[in-house]
Amino acid sequence: MLLTISTDHRPASDLGFLLHKHPDRFQSFDLSFGKAHVYYPEVGADRCTACLMLDVDAVGMVRGKNPDQNFLLAQALQGRCKDRPELVATPLPLEARLDVLCVRGGEAVLRGMFEPLGYAVEAVRHPLDERFPEWGESLYFSVMVRNTVTLSDLLTHLYVLIPVFDTRKHYFVGDDEMEKLLAKGEGWLARHPLKDEIARRFLRFQPSLYRMALSRLVVEEEPVEGEDETPAPERAEETLETPLSLNEQRLMSVVAALRACGAKRVLDLGCGEGKLLRELLKDRQFEQILGMDVSVRTLEVAARRLKLDRLPDHQAGRVKVVHGSLMYRDKRLAGFDAASVVEVVEHLDPPRLTAFERVLFEFAKPRTVVLTTPNSEFNVTWETLPAGQFRHADHRFEWTRQEFQNWATGIAARFGYAVRFLPVGPEHPEYGSPTQMAIFHRDGGEGVTPWKP
Ligand code: SAH
């Protein structure tokens, strides 16, 4: 795998000092796993690019015998720089490009992992091999991430996340790897919304290890008033899904899709207790946010959680929650750029779905709709879920991938939208991911960058 790191920081050659290599020379190292080459194809006062050829095993071998001595980036990772010690703590505008990265779970996972750490992510999925269409979508991506961080932070994030994306390899993992994860995760992993999934994947799905790792991560979370009033069925749903941290993955995927379409005014339909609203409020891109739900009690919890009555002035104008039903045409829903409908359709009675479809796609008709629902095929992988049962007592149905896609493509055709589908959560080779997401988009309107499927 080729890792290319660039910076526009001046003088750009500082990057060379941080990597302990003289930027004027080509270097090659003999490492236990083979050779690694570092060279600087672009060295100027304005921009410096370092290319590092890595065997993925070189990253995977963080779990090998003598990892840190061998790991090419170990010194930079530890944040040491003999010649220019002050550089180590300086956040630089850095870009890292990874060619080619195998990503289980696709772009949604990629974004879900990097974006909470402040990275802007660009990902291009490699075309699938036409000779083998039955292999399905390619797992391989060229990925570019950008952030203003210290080089040491960038490398630490990559060190943890590269093996997390690529779950094909099975290494032996033991206590050492757990300690490494905790050490490298210091300062960021405990607060990462996908920490559970990162730990599970990094520790190769060994429950004893990742549970222990997670139990040792201390999160400072502010206590939320009214948490105990969560209606019981919702709590049951959360408990079932907690080991996967699917809730968080879903939220991050939806936020990423809303961000990507350039929406400024967004609706969250069936907003529940306002978890998504809270995420949306954090991003200034979203200038106007309206949550709607049919349950007054749930809306009260949302209002308390979001502290709606105590928001500072500049925030107070941005968010509102209203009581309403998706079964009825509603003027308040018109004129928005995008709408999210997260884990809601499966709560609607099938005969009434057509009403919902018209309310949303014909009358409210935002340019983009991001909709998620469970993938029922995945249920067999949950040992705690008896066969044939739904994930939640109030679910009226749960769709297979095919059923969902049939429904969504039908809607898209009927109301003039294009639709594409993304998996959310770890993908099972046969059953797919636990949550399925559809992103509908229609052209037209003004002021928003069109999102191309
Ligand atoms: N989107 C939230 C909540 C999902 S639970 C989340 O992801 O956390 C489903 C929500 O849909 C519940 O809050 C329920 O009250 C709401 N709901 C069910 N039927 C509805 C309807 N007809 N109109 C609006 N909301 C509805």
Give the Cα separation of 266 and 272 in Å (integer).
Answer: 15
What is the position in ligand 1's atom list of the atom closest to the CA of 392? Answer: 5
CATH no., domain 246-442:
3.40.50.150
Average pLDDT over residues 355-381: 94
H helices then E strands: how many in the chain? 16, 14
Question: Poorest-confidence range of 234-238, 283-287, 319-323?
Answer: 234-238
Assess whether pLDDT exceeds 60 at residue 256. Answer: yes
Give the Cα separation of 186 and 184 in Å (integer).
Answer: 5
Query: Which range has highest mean pLDDT (9-13, 223-227, 323-327)?
Result: 323-327
Contact 340, 308 (CB under 8 A): no
pLDDT in tens, 394-418: 889 999 999 999 999 999 999 999 9
Residue 344 Cβ < 6 Å to ligand 1: yes
**Is pTM, for the whole model, over 0.75?**
no
Query: Which range has highest mean pLDDT (43-57, 245-259, 286-300)?
Result: 286-300
- Between 170 and 175, where is the model more confident? 175
In terms of CATH, what superfamily is 2-171? Answer: Hen1, N-terminal domain (3.30.1610.20)
pLDDT in tens, 183-203: 888 888 988 888 888 998 888
Residue 230 Cβ < 6 Å to ligand 1: no
- Structure confidence at residue 232 (pLDDT): 40
Residue 342 Cβ < 6 Å to ligand 1: yes
- Strands 418-424 and 2-7, by their bridges, are unpaired
Residue 298 Cβ < 6 Å to ligand 1: yes
Ramachandran category for residue 214: left, alpha or beta (phi over 0 → left; psi -120 to 50 → alpha): alpha
Assess whether pLDDT exceeds 90 at residue 127. Answer: no
Residue 272 Cβ < 6 Å to ligand 1: yes
CA of 293 to the centre of ligand 1 (A): 6
Helix axes 246-260, 232-241, angle to 10 degrees: 90
- Structure confidence at residue 9 (pLDDT): 77
Q: Do domains 2-171 and 246-442 have the same CATH topology?
A: no
* Residue 19 pLDDT level (bands cut at 50, 70, 90): low
- Structure confidence at residue 90 (pLDDT): 77
- Structure confidence at residue 169 (pLDDT): 62
What is the position in ligand 1's atom list of the atom closest to the CA of 275? Answer: 8
Contact 391, 357 (CB under 8 A): no
- Structure confidence at residue 29 (pLDDT): 44
Give the Cα separation of 128 and 147 in Å (integer).
Answer: 30
Average pLDDT over residues 245-252: 83
281 three-class SS: helix
Assess whether pLDDT exceeds 50 at residue 230. Answer: no
- Structure confidence at residue 34 (pLDDT): 38
Residue 295 Cβ < 6 Å to ligand 1: yes
Average pLDDT over residues 430-434: 91
What is the position in ligand 1's atom list of the atom closest to the CA of 327? Answer: 22
* Residue 326 pLDDT level (bands cut at 50, 70, 90): very high
Q: Which of 295, 437, 300 minimizes the C-alpha distance to 369? A: 437
Give the residue ranges of DSSP H helices in 121-231.
Answer: 151-165, 175-184, 195-202, 207-216
- Structure confidence at residue 95 (pLDDT): 92
For residue 373, give both structure tokens.
């629902």
Q: What average pLDDT does the structure give for the chain?
A: 78
Q: Rounded to the nearest 10 degrees, how much is the dihedral formed by the CA atoms of 135, 137, 138, 139?
A: -100
* Residue 223 pLDDT level (bands cut at 50, 70, 90): very low
- Structure confidence at residue 203 (pLDDT): 85
Q: What are the angstrom distances between the C-alpha of 5 and each of 43, 48, 83?
A: 12, 8, 20
CA of 144 to the centre of ligand 1 (A): 36
For residue 453, give both structure tokens.
């499927």
Assess whether pLDDT exceeds 90 at residue 175. Answer: no
Question: Poorest-confidence range of 106-120, 138-152, 227-241?
Answer: 227-241
pLDDT in tens, 268-287: 999 999 999 999 998 999 99
- Residue nearest to ligand 1 atom 20, measured at CA: 294
The upper half-sphere exposure of residue 353, i.e. CA atoms within 13 Å in the direction of its Cβ, equals: 14
Domain extents in the chain: 2-171, 246-442
In which residue are the tokens 């739900």 written? Answer: 293
Average pLDDT over residues 61-84: 47
- Structure confidence at residue 130 (pLDDT): 67
Q: Buried (b) or exposed (e) across 192-218, using 16+ Cβ within 10 A?
A: bbbbbbbbbbbbbeeeebbeebbeebe
- Structure confidence at residue 382 (pLDDT): 77
Q: Which of 397, 114, 116, 385 minimizes the C-alpha distance to 243? A: 385
* Residue 51 pLDDT level (bands cut at 50, 70, 90): confident
Contact 257, 420 (CB under 8 A): no
* Residue 131 pLDDT level (bands cut at 50, 70, 90): low
What is the position in ligand 1's atom list of the atom closest to the CA of 234? Answer: 5
In which residue are the tokens 């968010």 written? Answer: 319
With a CB cutoff of 8 Å and minimum separation 6, the contacts of 15 are: 5, 6, 7, 9, 23, 48, 50, 92, 151
- Which residues are 101's β-sheet partners? 141
CA of 396 to the centre of ligand 1 (A): 13
- Structure confidence at residue 126 (pLDDT): 82
Contact 290, 299 (CB under 8 A): no
The total of other beta-carbon atoms located within 10 Å of residue 239's CB is 10
Angle, vertex CA 57, rays to CA 53 and CA 61, nearest 5: 115
For residue 110, give both structure tokens.
């990629």
Give the Cα separation of 391 and 428 in Å (integer).
Answer: 17
Give the Cα separation of 5 and 387 in Å (integer).
Answer: 48
Question: Poorest-confidence range of 95-104, 112-121, 332-341?
Answer: 95-104
For residue 208, give both structure tokens.
């004893």
For residue 128, give both structure tokens.
């699938």
Residue from 251, 252, 268, 344 to probe ligand 1 pocket by mutation (most atoms less than 8 Å from CB) = 344
Assess whether pLDDT exceeds 60 at residue 46. Answer: yes
Average pLDDT over residues 153-165: 85
Residue from 292, 293, 332, 359 to probe ligand 1 pocket by mutation (most atoms less than 8 Å from CB) = 293
Q: How far is C-alpha 428 from the chain's CA centre?
A: 17
* Residue 17 pLDDT level (bands cut at 50, 70, 90): low
Average pLDDT over residues 58-63: 43
Assess whether pLDDT exceeds 90 at residue 2. Answer: no
Assess whether pLDDT exceeds 70 at residue 76. Answer: no
Q: Which of 289, 293, 292 minimizes the C-alpha distance to 265? A: 289
- Strands 92-102 and 120-125, by their bridges, are unpaired
- Between 316 and 242, where is the model more confident? 316
Assess whether pLDDT exceeds 60 at residue 64. Answer: no
CA of 215 to the centre of ligand 1 (A): 31
Residue 279 Cβ < 6 Å to ligand 1: no
The total of other beta-carbon atoms located within 10 Å of residue 242's CB is 11
Assess whether pLDDT exceeds 80 at residue 370. Answer: yes
Q: Buried (b) or exposed (e) across 434-452, using 16+ Cβ within 10 A?
A: bbbbbbbbbeeeeebeebe
